[in-house]
Structure 1
Amino acid sequence: MEKVELLEAVQKEEENIIRWRRHFHRYPEVGFEVENTANYIAEHLEEWGLEVAKNVGRTGVVGFLKGGEGKTIALRADMDALPITETKETDYQSENIGKMHACAHDGHMAILLGVAKVMAFHRKFLKGSIKFIFQPAEEGPSPGGAAPMIDESVLEGVDYIFGAHLHSLYPVGTAGINLTNMMASTDNFSIEMIGKGGHAGLPHESIDAIALVFRMYQEIQLMVSRNNDPLEPLVISVGTVNGGVATNVIADKAVLTGTVRTQSKNIREKIIQQLEDKANFISESEGGRCNVQIERGLPPLVNHESSSLMVKNAATKVLGKEKVFILEKPNMGAEDFAYYLEEVPGAFYWIGAGNKEKGMDYVMHHPQFDFDEKALINGTKIFIQTLMDVWN
């Protein structure tokens, strides 16, 4: 980090950052119902002299730290936990049964508080301004918490936005970023085939809805393997198939549901249209009909390359060249940070937080999930170094 004084200040806050993380972990809240978490954050930001807006996008918190005439940079942390019962025993284990920070959002909040406190007490380094976005409902309900905050002008005046995610499958002390395409869109579909019920012994007098559904299932496999460029990431997964009421009755209705994930806006639209077209063709060809419902989810998360390179350079200064990786393959998970990147330049990246020797290598959303808290100080330093680099 270029500023030795800031580096030393971050190190002095390490115990506080860990303490904040463990507080959040003990008292997880889910979805938009994060009032206690939001109040805790707002109280700290106000104590440090930031301008604070509450109830943004329902329960979001925004802290604003005014600086010089340079760029205004937004940093985002997600606040919500998951409806999971934690099974790992620690002295900071969740006290809200059935709720758990199993996706490191407790760490994200603690990191952002660390950046806020350090910068609030070292304002001479503020060549520009910082907007701290604490967002609810990253895990849902759909469409998540980012869109409502954007609708309430959280990005007004923002020149860049950066976000990070602690990752237990990357070793602590590392960082990784995709220069452009990073995470997938996610849309859900439900296709109901409507036929004509009848006696199992007289199939020619009926229109078998189950047969129509399985024809549609086969077509979906061909959409991926034969209709899509094999170099373009695409996943179509059928999660449920339901139909029929008895062994001797031909079903008049059957339904399959699933999800579509892709890295491309164009492919996303193409696949959704193909699902509708193929369902209509299959049902009508047998004298039946269909009902196709598409639940639009998140868009693809696409980093801005110049912003990604800023993060890479900042992380390299903090962790060392050999510890920072440009990731070639995108992740087929989804993140509503994508909405911010549709509005302003920025980047989203991974901070290594795994430690196999300590048993901290469970995948996110697992009831035993945990991470090495050394990653918290790394995340704080990378954010601050990024701020310094953008302003310089």
Structure 2
Amino acid sequence: MRQQLMKMLTERKDEIIQIRRHLHAHPELSFHEEETSKFIRDFYKGKDVDVAEEVGGGHAVVVTIKGGKPGKTIALRADFDALPIHEETGLPFKSENDGVMHACGHDGHTAYLLVLADCLIKLKEEIPGTIKIVHQHAEETPPGGAKGVMESGILDDVEQIFGIHVFPFGESGEVYYHSGYSMAGRTYFKLKVQGVGGHGSSPHMANDAIVAAAYFVTAIQTVISRRLNPFDTGVVTIGSFDGKGSFNVIKDAVLLEGDVRYMNTETRDKIDKEIHRIVSGIEAMFGVKTELTYTNDYPPLYNDPDVTKQVVASLEKGVGEYLTTVSEYEMLSGSEDFAYYLEKIPGVFFYIGAKPKGTEQVYFNHHPKFDIDEDALLVAAKAVADVVLDYYKLD
């Protein structure tokens, strides 16, 4: 079966690329992917599968491929939302939706999985189990589409789940993985510091919110430098400090917004506790009032070590065929809502090298000039195919 499936995928490489280019030209933002979702649903029309629409309170589509023999259920996932970025690639199939761009490769993720799913449908009588194809909306915007999909219960019977992401840090043919905690969790916070306004000449008659807020900015740096174990990783960023006013007026209120990153749940909880403690201290020290919104978005992504070993063994079969290397990569500080699946279902999220050929300057994901080597899409399809075949012990 492996030889047959690989041949089918190779023969449909051009179709994968065509689908990717269509999706690239018609990007849609998170939670607004109506046409993309319709395109996906239309692809499965007339095929012998069950199609669930609008899953998880969004535009997700979950396709169930029931094998010809009884067995366990696994899931494969690809995201399909785009970003609010004005594209600057100059590609002939560049975005036709001004200000919206597939700058993270989700067009490619969807394209490879559509064709792989179709090939698996054609071979489903040989599959001893069920495969759920998760076409997921809104990966880019919290709370993330994966959260809703998981809460819907549609994946409650899934034993293992797999996903990939294209990244330009490796050439096409290179696959990377990381066992255990692999990508950072993320928290958003907003702090309003309320003081008392007044004239700059009479600070004793006011309570300066800017001074209190500035002290908060300085104090939270000590959470990382003095509260975390030196071997743990955390980042706290203040991305917005809105205290604009007149030069001679003491500001009555300031609004700050920030971002927290961490590599495991223990670090997340530690930073959470310390930031809340500092906010309480600011109130006591400066006599101001505060309003803190502290929202844990995507959890740290955890690749099950045993499943990772299983996946690596499967991928190594492709070395010398469609892969050049399979190697472990360092933890990434970016966040990914696939982590919601991995909180409940053992699985692996791994990376497909997609550095464009013949380019001196490589632009990373979320850049307006981001692009991929489209050869990597066939690599992705074959890599995930090998994972599926090995799971079901199909040769």
Partner of 1:193: 193
Contiguous gaps of at least 5 residues in structure 2: none
Q: Distance in 1 between matches of 2:5 and 2:361?
A: 29
Partner of 1:297: 297
Aligned residues of 2:183 and 2:301 also touching (Cα < 8 A): yes
Q: Distance in 2 between matches of 1:277 and 1:333?
A: 26
Q: Distance in 1 between matches of 2:143 and 2:52?
A: 22
Q: CA RMSD in A?
A: 1.8
Q: Distance in 1 between matches of 2:148 and 2:61?
A: 12
Cα displacement (A) at 1:127 = 2.1
Aligned residues of 1:169 and 1:362 also touching (Cα < 8 A): no
Q: Distance in 1 between matches of 2:110 and 2:371?
A: 15
Partner of 2:27: 28
Once the two structures are aligned, what percentage of the paired residues are identical?
A: 36
Aligned residues of 1:187 and 1:296 also touching (Cα < 8 A): yes
Amino acid at match of 2:45: E
Q: Distance in 2 between matches of 1:263 and 1:276?
A: 20
Q: Distance in 1 between matches of 2:54 and 2:288?
A: 49
Equivalent pairs, count = 389
* 1:292-371 matches, cutoff 5 A: 292-320=292-320, 323-327=325-329, 329-358=330-359, 361-371=362-372
The alignment partner of 1:46 has SS state of coil
Aligned residues of 2:10 and 2:378 also touching (Cα < 8 A): yes
Shift of the 360–161 alpha-carbon distance from structure 1 to 2, 3 Å rule, reads farther
Partner of 1:171: 171
Partner of 1:216: 216
Deviation string, structure 1 residues 151-199 (Cα, Å, up to 9, x no partner): 2222121111001001112221101111011111111112222223333
Cα displacement (A) at 1:288 = 2.3
Aligned residues of 1:360 and 1:371 also touching (Cα < 8 A): no
Deviation string, structure 1 residues 273-332 (Cα, Å, up to 9, x no partner): 2212111112212322222121331111111111222222222222358611112x3111
Aligned residues of 1:360 and 1:369 also touching (Cα < 8 A): no
Deviation string, structure 1 residues 244-300 (Cα, Å, up to 9, x no partner): 522222222223221111112122122122212111112212322222121331111
Aligned residues of 1:234 and 1:260 also touching (Cα < 8 A): yes
Aligned residues of 2:60 and 2:136 also touching (Cα < 8 A): yes
The alignment partner of 2:45 has SS state of helix
The alignment partner of 2:169 has SS state of strand
State whether structure 2 residue 81 is matched by structure 1 residue 80.
Answer: yes
Deviation string, structure 1 residues 187-227 (Cα, Å, up to 9, x no partner): 11122222233332333443222111121111111111111
State whether structure 2 residue 248 is matched by structure 1 residue 269.
Answer: no
Deviation string, structure 1 residues 228-253 (Cα, Å, up to 9, x no partner): 11211101001111225222222222
Q: Distance in 1 between matches of 2:282 and 2:33?
A: 46
Amino acid at match of 1:119: L
Cα displacement (A) at 1:18 = 1.2
Aligned residues of 2:75 and 2:160 also touching (Cα < 8 A): yes
Amino acid at match of 2:327: F
Q: Distance in 1 between matches of 2:39 and 2:236?
A: 41
The alignment partner of 1:245 has SS state of coil
Q: Distance in 1 between matches of 2:97 and 2:251?
A: 45
Q: Distance in 2 between matches of 1:55 and 1:272?
A: 34
| Stretches of 4+ aligned residues off by more than 6 angstroms | none
Cα displacement (A) at 1:126 = 1.0
* 1:103-118 matches, cutoff 5 A: 103-118=104-119
Q: Distance in 2 between matches of 1:314 and 1:4?
A: 14
Amino acid at match of 2:371: D
Q: Distance in 2 between matches of 1:125 and 1:230?
A: 52
Cα displacement (A) at 1:137 = 0.7
The alignment partner of 1:52 has SS state of strand
State whether structure 2 residue 49 is matched by structure 1 residue 47.
Answer: no
Aligned residues of 2:79 and 2:109 also touching (Cα < 8 A): yes
Shift of the 197–150 alpha-carbon distance from structure 1 to 2, 3 Å rule, reads same
Cα displacement (A) at 1:346 = 0.5
Amino acid at match of 2:123: H
Shift of the 310–360 alpha-carbon distance from structure 1 to 2, 3 Å rule, reads farther
Q: Distance in 2 between matches of 1:361 and 1:288?
A: 48
Deviation string, structure 1 residues 85-110 (Cα, Å, up to 9, x no partner): 22222232222222211110010011
State whether structure 2 residue 113 is matched by structure 1 residue 90.
Answer: no
* 1:49-68 matches, cutoff 5 A: 49-57=48-56, 58-67=58-67, 68=69
Amino acid at match of 1:179: S
Deviation string, structure 1 residues 104-143 (Cα, Å, up to 9, x no partner): 0010011111211111112243122110000111111x20
Aligned residues of 2:318 and 2:383 also touching (Cα < 8 A): yes
* 1:272-287 matches, cutoff 5 A: 272-287=272-287
Cα displacement (A) at 1:360 = 7.5
Shift of the 245–360 alpha-carbon distance from structure 1 to 2, 3 Å rule, reads closer
Aligned residues of 2:173 and 2:324 also touching (Cα < 8 A): no
Q: Distance in 2 between matches of 1:39 and 1:254?
A: 44
Aligned residues of 2:183 and 2:302 also touching (Cα < 8 A): yes
Shift of the 115–356 alpha-carbon distance from structure 1 to 2, 3 Å rule, reads closer
Q: Distance in 1 between matches of 2:28 and 2:196?
A: 47
Contiguous gaps of at least 5 residues in structure 1: none
Q: Compute the TM-score of the two structures, normalised by the length of structure 1.
A: 0.94
Cα displacement (A) at 1:359 = 5.7
Aligned residues of 2:357 and 2:373 also touching (Cα < 8 A): no
Partner of 1:119: 120
Q: Distance in 2 between matches of 1:373 and 1:311?
A: 23
Shift of the 371–359 alpha-carbon distance from structure 1 to 2, 3 Å rule, reads farther
Aligned residues of 2:243 and 2:251 also touching (Cα < 8 A): yes
Q: Distance in 1 between matches of 2:338 and 2:188?
A: 19
